[in-house]
Amino acid sequence: MKTRTHEFEEHTTSTAKPVLKGLLVGSIIGAATALLFAPRSGEETRAEIRDKATEIRDRTTETVKDTVSQAKSKVSGLKDNVLEKAEEFKQRGKHTASEQLDRVSQTAEAGKQKVQEY
């Protein structure tokens, strides 16, 4: 049985992967196209490729860090919510059990009095 947290993690992972892939592939294609059509020397082109690759790596790393941070924050919030609900249900259960015990005690006492009357 999947929990809400597990479902959220799967959803976050399944939606983040295509976005990151698209970002990476689009950046590479755009950078390669720009470099191939630019009238520069081989050394300048190689330097430009290095710079663009570093820039893409840094942007991708930052995007991944942001996505992971957001996911952790949401999971933490869900965890807190689940713990609050569990405590609420626990208290409700204690209250209901106490009420039922009181009713049983009252019924037993009433039955005891009826037996004593006969």
Q: Is the pLDDT of residue 84 over 90?
A: yes
Which range, of 22-26, 63-67, 68-72, averages the lowest pLDDT?
22-26
pLDDT band at 96 (very low <50, low <70, confident <90, very high): very high
- Measure the CA–CA gap between 64 and 56, rounded to whole angstroms: 12
Dihedral angle sign, alpha carbons of residues 20, 21, 25, 28: positive
Letter string b/e over residues 49-87, b meaning 16 or more CB atoms within 10 A of that residue's CB: eeebeeebeeeeeeeeeebeeebeeebeebeeeeeeeee
User: What is the C-alpha R_g of the chain?
Assistant: 32
Which of 7-11, 48-52, 86-90 is modeled with the greatest confidence?
86-90
pLDDT band at 40 (very low <50, low <70, confident <90, very high): low
Query: What pLDDT score does 97 carry?
Result: 92
Asked if 23 and 62 touch (Cβ cutoff 8 Å), the reply is: no
Got the DSSP string for 25-73?
HHHHHHHHHHHHHS---HHHHHHHHHHHHHHHHHHHHHHHHHHHHHHHH
The mean pLDDT of 56-85, rounded to a whole number, is 89
Locate the domains of the chain by residue range: 4-117
